[in-house]
């Protein structure tokens, strides 16, 4: 069985699995792709035999709605900073034009080599990057990341809200980093919402999405889940 979860802000992907264990205590549970604690919305998980289907989802393209704040900086490149956070004076910052932002984002299509966040789940010698970073061992690694397209939803400096269609293993924080590199201002991710995995798009409406069995929908603690495939 595959289920979709509306993950709320502030809990880890592993927290979602732990809560579902209360509903399926004897079943194996896995998920297709990790969402950062500050990220929200779409996670697809496999229950029992459904875990075998997850490999088909891992490499699929995804869509996100991201909010970037050009007036802040942090060591994690988002609000969940570890040791460093700085609020900048917006009156002293360069205010990039929307056309310039769109031009720089267009240069990332269809792919671009970008740095991985030091605080990420990427592994090095069996250790997560974020585990090493918390011990002041900062990993500096770049990767070719796929960006299929984007659409600016709103721009009111210092806040940019943008939809990004990307490939698997593309970090949205790395795209925000690139904008900092181009404009020399602050940058952190203050909001991230995953809306699509492959053809499974939940952006339009959670209620209206085609569901295999609506009666399987329920609420567990602070998030909702629904069955989408046997």
C-alpha 222: how far from its chain's center? 19
Count the neighbouring beta carbons within 10 Å of the beta carbon of residue 80.
Answer: 17
Q: Give yes or no: 36 in active site.
A: yes
Calculate Rg over the CA atoms of the chain. 18
The phi and psi torsions of 182 (rounded to 5 degrees) equal: -75, -40
C-alpha 111/C-alpha 228 separation (Å) is 31
166: tokens are 């990307």
3-state helix, strand, coil in the chain (%, to 5): 20, 40, 40
- 7 in helix, strand or coil? strand
Catalytic option among 15, 36, 148, 156: 36
Distances in Å between the alpha carbon of 198 and those of 9, 27, 59, 219? 22, 25, 9, 25
Distances in Å between the alpha carbon of 160 and those of 23, 47, 111, 116? 39, 37, 21, 21
User: Is 157 within 8 Å of 22 (Cβ atoms)?
Assistant: no
User: Is 197 within 8 Å of 42 (Cβ atoms)?
Assistant: yes
Per DSSP, the chain holds a count of helices (H) and strands (E) of 5, 15
Residues forming the active site: 36
């Amino acid at each position: 069985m595959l289920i979709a979860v509306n993950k709320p802000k502030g809990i880890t992907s592993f927290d979602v699995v732990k809560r579902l264990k209360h509903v399926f205590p004897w079943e194996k549970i896995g998920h297709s792709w990790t969402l950062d604690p500050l990220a929200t919305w779409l996670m697809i998980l496999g229950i029992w035999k459904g875990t075998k289907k997850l490999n088909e989802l891992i490499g699929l393209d995804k869509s996100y709605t991201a909010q970037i704040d050009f007036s802040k900086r942090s060591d994690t490149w988002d609000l969940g900073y570890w040791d460093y956070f700085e609020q900048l004076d917006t009156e002293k910052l360069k205010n990039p034009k929307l056309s310039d932002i769109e031009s720089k984002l267009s240069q990332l299509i269809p792919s671009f080599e970008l740095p991985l966040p030091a605080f990420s789940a990427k592994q090095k010698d069996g250790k997560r990057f974020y585990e090493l970073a918390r011990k002041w061992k900062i990993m500096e690694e770049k990767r070719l990341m796929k960006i299929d397209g984007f659409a600016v939803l709103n721009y009111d400096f210092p806040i940019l809200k943008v939809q990004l269609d990307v490939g698997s293993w593309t970090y949205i924080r790395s795209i925000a980093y690139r904008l900092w590199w181009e404009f020399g201002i602050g940058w952190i991710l203050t909001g991230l919402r995953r809306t699509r995995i492959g053809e499974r798009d939940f952006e339009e409406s959670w209620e209206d999405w085609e569901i295999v069995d609506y009666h399987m929908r329920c609420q567990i603690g602070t998030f909702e889940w629904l069955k989408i495939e046997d």
